[in-house]
């Protein structure tokens, strides 16, 4: 039977909406990724001499600058998060004129610099200027004085010798993190929408494959008869012979095929998100129907009413999730999710 069978028009529209939205978010994902790459690969401005920035006595942050170092970096500060030491650390370096600088870099960058013959020739490093915070300033003063075994650095002369900024070798001048983060978020949304589309499409195909055109006409006729039923607001149709749920995906089964029904709660981080009914049928499939939101004060009453309607239609149904019902079900074929 053709998937575009007219009786499924509303269902197909909803299903296609997931597809169209997923394509939109895919385009947004690719667009942000391209923008991020272009932004990161822009031509860098001319690097400024770090010493000139320091001697200007002005706080000049986020400037692209360089230092011609002539000493092996000396570690003086690192931070720990829990038991794990952070990857990036603060180091002292000097240039050929014995001017003191503070660099912020990773272990990998440090290993790279240490492998250079820095003490015999200068080595230029590039980075972004950042403000020296008070905690780093205090650590720098104590560490330098301890290293030199004399009180060379003080709060009063720190700006004259070290300046107001350090050089961050890890941060890119053109930071594309915003673009990459946005691209990642849009990609996740794309996947969620695409998965929803595929789930709905598969469910629709299974229903069309399972039921003949005559049966489908009968199902939709019965749905029209109960369209004013209060449960239809939750997209649940309890017809004369069938249960039809359109809330999540297309679900159709006969009352006579039900063997077990029990309430189910979905919680996230301990908080109740929704409650619904799990329905197990003779073919060992599990269906979710009758979704109620956590803020619906009548959710317990609604679920109980639906359970009683199902029980009235088929008095052989097992009700409730308990050991007795579990044992009875376990004697049959192992359940599988639909």
pLDDT digits (tens, 9 = 90+) for 135-162: 899 999 999 998 888 888 999 999 888 9
Q: Which residue has the tokens 């600088």?
A: 101
Residue-wise DSSP of 217-271: HHHHHHHHHTTTSGGGGGTEEE-SSEEEE-SSS-EEEEGGGEEEEEEEEEEETTE
Residue 179 has pLDDT above 60, yes or no: yes
pLDDT score recorded for residue 108: 86
Q: What does the mean pLDDT of the chain come to?
A: 85
Of the pLDDT bands very low, low, confident and very high (cuts 50, 70, 90), residue 243 is: very high
pTM over 0.85: no
Return the minimum-mean-pLDDT range out of 36-50, 80-94, 309-323.
80-94
d(CA 333, CA 324): 16
Residue 125 has pLDDT above 90, yes or no: yes
pLDDT score recorded for residue 182: 94
- Tell me which residue of 137, 118, 38 sits closest to 145, measured CA to CA: 137
The phi and psi torsions of 253 (rounded to 5 degrees) equal: -155, 160
Of the pLDDT bands very low, low, confident and very high (cuts 50, 70, 90), residue 4 is: very low
């Amino acid at each position: 039977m053709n998937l575009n069978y007219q009786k499924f028009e509303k269902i197909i529209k909803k299903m296609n909406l997931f597809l169209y939205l997923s394509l939109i978010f895919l385009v947004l994902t690719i667009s942000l990724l391209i923008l991020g790459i272009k932004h990161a690969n822009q031509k860098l401005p001319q690097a400024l001499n770090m010493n000139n920035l320091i001697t200007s006595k002005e706080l000049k942050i986020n400037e692209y600058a360089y230092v011609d170092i002539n000493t092996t970096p000396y570690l003086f500060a690192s931070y720990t998060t829990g038991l794990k030491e952070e990857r990036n650390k603060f180091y002292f370096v000097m240039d050929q004129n014995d001017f003191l600088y503070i660099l912020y870099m990773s272990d990998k960058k440090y290993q790279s610099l240490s492998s250079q013959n820095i003490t015999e020739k200068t080595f230029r490093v590039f980075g972004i200027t950042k403000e020296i915070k008070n905690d780093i300033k205090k650590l720098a003063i104590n560490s330098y004085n301890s290293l030199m075994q004399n009180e060379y650095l003080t709060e009063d002369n720190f700006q004259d010798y070290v300046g107001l900024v350090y050089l961050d070798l890890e941060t890119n001048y053109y930071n594309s993190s915003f673009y990459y983060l946005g691209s990642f978020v849009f990609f996740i949304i794309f996947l969620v929408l695409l998965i929803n589309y595929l789930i709905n499409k598969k469910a629709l195909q299974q229903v069309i494959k399972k039921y003949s055109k005559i049966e489908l006409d009968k199902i939709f006729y019965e749905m029209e008869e109960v369209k004013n039923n209060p449960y239809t607001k939750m997209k649940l149709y309890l017809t004369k012979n069938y249960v039809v749920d359109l809330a999540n995906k297309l679900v159709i089964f006969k009352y006579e095929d039900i063997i077990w029904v029990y309430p189910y709660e979905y919680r996230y981080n301990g908080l109740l998100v929704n409650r619904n009914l799990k329905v197990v049928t003779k073919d060992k499939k599990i269906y979710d129907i009758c979704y109620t939101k956590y803020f619906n004060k009548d959710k317990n009453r609604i679920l109980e009413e639906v359970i009683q309607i199902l029980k009235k239609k088929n008095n052989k149904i097992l009700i409730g999730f308990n050991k007795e019902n579990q044992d009875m079900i376990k004697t049959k074929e192992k359940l599988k999710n639909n």
